[in-house]
Chains A and B, each alone.
Chain A
Amino acid sequence: MKKLTFYSLMIVFSLMTLSCFDNSKPNYQFFPNMYESVGYSTYEQSDAFANGIEAQLPAEGSIPRGWVPYEYEDTNEGYELAKNNLMSPLKLSEKNIKKGKELYNIYCAVCHGPKGDGQGILMKREKFLGIPSYYDRDITEGSIYHVLMYGKNLMGSHAGQVNSNERWQISQYVISLREKLIK
């Protein structure tokens, strides 16, 4: 009888310890006020602002460091103007193209393909269709920059992911890809 109570107690105990272990909840902390400071941390929920989020938009009219103004509008005319007039401030160099390639493979190749022929993995898996090859499109550095800035048709703007310098580096690399395709 004693043995029986002992075993049942053991089982209850192990069940209790198991049930306390919950993957969807964070673990205990030792002195939590050293882990969580008084200052706001990134993306924190906070009552300090009206919408309850720590991550606020910058004040209207503020300009980020290193920001370059862009004068062309997001219209068909703006596209044509950018295509014909906009020139890259960067010099054509190995270093820029190499950086452009790195960025292209992160942000563009998933649709446009590593070679720029429109055969990216999303196209092959038919998530996106009709992605053009750079071969078929009459594009210039200016038009590539413009499209990266605003997006075009189904392509969204990538201005939030790459800054103006990086956009120019990608444009350089895309032009070099197109030259390879035309050859």
Chain B
Amino acid sequence: MEGKTILLKEFLNLFSNFRALRLLALNLALLLATSLSISSQEIDISKGKSLFNANCASCHKLNKKLIGPALKGVSSKYEKEWLYSWIKNSAALIKSGDDQAVAIYEEYDKVAMNSFPQLSNEDMDNILEYTDYTPPAAIASSAGNSSNVNQSSSSSFTNDLVLVLLLLVLAVLVTMLFLVTKTLKRLASDKGIEINEKKSSGTPIWERFIKNQFLVFVSVILLLLSSAYFAYGYFMQIGVDQGYMPVQPIHYSHKIHAGENEIECQYCHSSARISKHSGIPSLNVCMNCHENIADYNGEEDLEKGYTKDFYTNEIKKLYKAVGWDETTLSYTGDTEPVKWVRIHNLPDFVYFNHSQHVTVAGIECQKCHGPVEEMEILYQYSPLTMGWCINCHRESNIKVKDNDYYTKIHEELSKKYGVEELTAAQMGGLECGKCHY
């Protein structure tokens, strides 16, 4: 601002007095110099930020305790030389019996900080500059955010308004039409013209229909066939839960975890590799990441109400269930089970084994579970009926590569059937006893 007013003044001077030109040049040079110095400071901070993110952020946050203390304004708490030696090799400093060092070590439960011999003093200066730096633009950016929110909510509001207006117009048109026909009829009756209301002389249409026996016969058959079709459809879907999408106690979005963050399915469902069940992850698996990630900062879907606050609140539900105290970053031991609702549930007279399909056959999870990585709320993608199982067994070839167990039987059976590659059905995937016993 000041620079601008100065510039403005200079321009005024310029017009009033031509000699001021030299002064202007001087001022410009000064301005340039200050702006340069600012940008070099910014470079330091951005360097510091990237160094901080690469080296420190795994254990330190700026404003919050993590594994180690919050680092905002750390350079004012300790001397610079001491900080240098601490960062370079904290263990050595603790061993030397430095009071400050030992105090910190004790305070943070004797967690050893990694040593960073690769950082130069300049690097550390940059990092410290970053930790001291308070971004001035914070207010502006938050204001920008709120205006964005207003915009989107107002757009849905205008949509509603347009719809209501259209409905109103439609209603007006309908009433107008009624009025027009009314006046026309009145006019006609005034002039003595008779209007032919649909009074067809003779027998009504349904009586004529009943008299036509062929028509009755055909329509009865059609009616029977179509009702049989619908009845069949209804009975066939009994016990089939395709599309089942229950509300879970914690809104866990597969779209965010498996889709946007590309976490492998088996990271959480780790027993799918080795057991019958794919497994509901125990909450310690959630906490592998969510010790660190306490807030949601990703995209929002305002239309469906999936705001940042909504997701953050779901993470809080996890903390409550697992008994994690966010302020002290420790477990309270006060846990409660999460009552997840089971979606995929085969009847008890069917045996199904995940490891056989995941590890031995090497089938992608999506083959049966559908595009889970796009599902905000998980639903059952496949019908899980016997016909569906058998179809796949008939169509898919078995994976023999790297599986010595199959080599011999594959050789013999492929000779027997005279084929190059065996399907799961030819390996016995259609035998009743494989799945029902």
Contact = CB atoms under 8 A, between A and B. Distances in A.
A51 B339 CA distance: 12
Interface residues of A, number: 49
Interface string B25-57: 000000000000000000000000000111111
A36 B262 CA distance: 35
B238 A24 contact: no
Given A43-B342, A129-B57, A27 B239 contact: yes
Interface string B329-340: 000000001011
A69 B28 CA distance: 74
A8 B288 CA distance: 57
A131 B58 contact: yes
A12 interface: no
A34 B264 contact: no
Contacts of B270: 107, 160-162
B263 interface: yes
A144 B222 CA distance: 73
Contacts, number: 126
A122 interface: yes
Contacts of A154: 58-59, 66-67, 291-292
B238 A110 contact: no
Interface stretch (B3-11, B195-203, B210-218, B279-287): B279-287
Interface residues of B, number: 54
A127 B239 contact: no
A121 B58 contact: no
A160 to B, nearest CB: 7
Contact of B285 (A35, A41, A160): A160
Interface string B274-308: 00010010101101110111000000000000000
B241 interface: yes
A37 interface: yes
A45 to B, nearest CB: 7
Contact of B238 (A30, A75, A127): A30
A127 B379 contact: no
A153 B238 contact: no
Given A130-B58, A160-B270, A121 B67 contact: no
Contact of A23 (B244, B284, B289): B244
B347 interface: yes
Contact of A129 (B53, B118, B337): B53
B264 A153 contact: no
A136 B118 contact: yes
Given A110-B263, A125-B261, A160 B284 contact: yes
A122 B57 CA distance: 13
B264 A160 contact: no
B267 interface: yes
A155 B267 CA distance: 14
Nearest to A2: B206
B262 to A, nearest CB: 5
A29 B67 contact: no
A51 B114 CA distance: 42
B79 interface: no
B70 to A, nearest CB: 14
B118 to A, nearest CB: 7
A84 interface: no
Contact of A122 (B237, B240, B261, B280): B261
Contact of A35 (B118, B282, B287, B347): B347
A130 to B, nearest CB: 3
B267 A28 contact: no
Contacts of A118: 54
A153 B342 CA distance: 34
Contact of B288 (A53, A137, A155): A155
A128 to B, nearest CB: 6
Given A155-B288, A156-B291, A26 B54 contact: no
A42 interface: yes
A27 B280 CA distance: 23
B187 interface: no
A16 interface: no
Contacts of A105: 264
A76 interface: yes
A85 interface: no
B287 A156 contact: yes
Given A26-B244, A43-B280, 13 more contacts: A24-B247, A25-B244, A35-B349, A75-B110, A76-B111, A122-B261, A130-B56, A130-B59, A132-B58, A153-B59, A154-B66, A156-B287, A161-B285
22 contacts: A27-B238, A35-B239, A35-B348, A37-B348, A43-B342, A45-B339, A52-B337, A75-B110, A76-B112, A106-B266, A106-B267, A107-B270, A110-B261, A129-B57, A130-B54, A130-B60, A137-B114, A153-B58, A153-B59, A155-B288, A160-B284, A160-B285
Interface of B: 52-60, 66-67, 110-112, 114, 118, 237-241, 243-247, 260-264, 266-267, 270, 277, 280, 282, 284-285, 287-289, 291-293, 337, 339-340, 342, 345, 347-349, 379
